Amino acid sequence: MKFFSQLFRMIRINFILARYNIDEIVLGSHRFYPIRFIIYFNPFYWTTGKNLERGERLRLAIEKLGPIFVKAGQIMSTRRDLIPDDIAMELAKLQDRVPPFPGLLAKEIIEQALHSKTEEIFSTFDTTALASASIAQVHAATLMNGEQVVVKVLRPHIKKMIDRDINLLMTFAKITERYSSNARYFKPKQIIHEIAQTLYDELDLMREGANASQLRRHFANSNLLYIPKIYWNYCRTNILILERIYGIPIHDIDKLKQAGVNMKKLAARGIEIFFTQIFRDSFFHADLHPGNIFVSDKDPENPTYISVDFGIVGSLSRNDQRYIAENMIAFFKRDYQRVAELHIACGWLPPDTRIDQFEGAIRAVSEPIFEQSLRDISFGQLLLRLFQVARRFHINIQPQLVLLQKTLLGIEALCRQLAPDLDIWSTAAPHIEKWLKKQVGVQSFFRRIYDNLPLWSEQLPALPSLVYEVLRETKLQQEKSRFMTNLSNNNPMNHEKKIKLKYFLAGIGITLFIAGLLLVLY
């Protein structure tokens, strides 16, 4: 039965790929040039293939293939350093508008997970889904104490669906990597591995709840960003219950203006939130597309962002932060040599990389960007072009930096939609420079000492013993060395070798002296 199910799925996938002429990806390889004429027998080649660009055809095919492929397409769209720009831009248009599964089935899943009837937990539960996505769907409910919440429920059998489709995607990736001459540029197997990891992470709603709690803690006393409260007593790996929030969807520009929201301040606050997460918290929401962002209109002059859906987050090391901050500063000073040196110093490029060659490659990419007005320069595009250049020099781009670049592109696009005249660099620069100042100087030195004091206080009592052991070992080594020296000196053969070595070195010295004297005289 499982075999026939997979066979049917494969037939359907192949039909959809043929329907949108995706077969040309493989048949376009030079290996298949002798049989490339086969595509002309595909009846859809003369209809769909003539009217649509390749990126649009791929997006439409993915939408037809179902929710897991839609999610995979969204993740692929973030890898603009690996896939062509036209395809990435089309895949970014994929929307998670997936038909919901029955609300009664959602109730059943909740009751099985919590071992209680929904009537015992909620005073009201709406079986009509508020929203439905590829991994889960959301229902409105009210707890017995009157608090309004939303209940996020994983789709039934979603793990089996993901396993099945990831296996199929990996099969296609292996075929593409074997037969396509372009595979070395976009690394299909690597992309599928990243898609699988992201999807499996999103299957654990307890993990998503933990992400939300951390973000909420970081912005607990801030009026910039509000994160809903998590009701941990009712959360399981397949169920997440959060505070229900009310706000204006950020993509509804007309409604925001009607509410009197200060659009320029809203855009500036979006940039501030992003760079605060990067440089203060080293932890950022990496799925900030417009569907996950709302705006509170309680104080229109000082609008507050409200964020939902925390399945994808990114975290940065201090090395990552320095890479981003110092590179951005150096880029805007057009100090390309510094950018090249930073890549090697941070360990992103091999130490034997030719700095002059890398510097020249960066200059060729960056100068056209800086010909634009400063307010039109995109940080995200800058990082993207940098990643693309660096790949030629064998840089290994870390997944967290790819997430960062994708999130930055999204934030920039959003803020330019809210306030087209906003100078993003002028808004972001103070946050970058503030972080850099905190990392150097006397204040930073004493802060690091203070941070390490607890560890040092634990190790201090053992210090005298360690010093004694080191001195004792040193003394033993000296005694052993002295004994071996005496033994060696008493050996006639060694004595004879030493005399010969002295004569040899003396001969070299005399020769060099005579050669130098001759050079001076003549």
Active-site residues, by number, are 287
Go through 50-60 and write b for each residue having 16 or more CB atoms within 10 A of its CB, e for each that does not.
eebebbbbbbb
Q: What Rg, from alpha-carbon coordinates, does the chain have?
A: 31
Sign of the dihedral defined by the CA atoms of residues 235, 239, 243, 249, in that order: positive
**Burial class of 5 by CB neighbour count within 10 A (0 to 12, 13 to 18, 19+):** exposed
Q: How far apart are CA 143 and CA 146, in angstroms?
A: 5
DSSP secondary structure, 119-157, as one string:
HHHEEEE--S-SEE-SSEEEEEEEETTS-EEEEEEEPTT
In angstroms, rounded to a whole number, what is the distance separating the alpha carbons of residues 295 and 108?
A: 33
User: Of the candidates 327, 371, 409, 404, which has an alpha carbon nearest to the alpha carbon of residue 85?
Assistant: 409
The secondary element (H helix, E strand) that includes residue 63 is: helix 54-65
**Residue 67 vs residues 35, 78, 93: alpha-carbon distances, Å:** 33, 17, 14
How far is it, in rounded angstroms, from Cα 444 to Cα 452? 12
Contact 208, 310 (CB under 8 A): yes
d(CA 498, CA 5): 83
Map 175-186 to HEC letters: HHHHHCCCHHHH
- Cα 260 to Cα 121: distance, rounded to the nearest angstrom: 39
Which residue reads 């889960």 in tokens? Answer: 136
Residue 65 near residue 16, CB atoms below 8 Å: yes
Q: Which two tokens stand for residue 264?
A: 């320029």
Three-class secondary structure of residue 340 per DSSP: helix
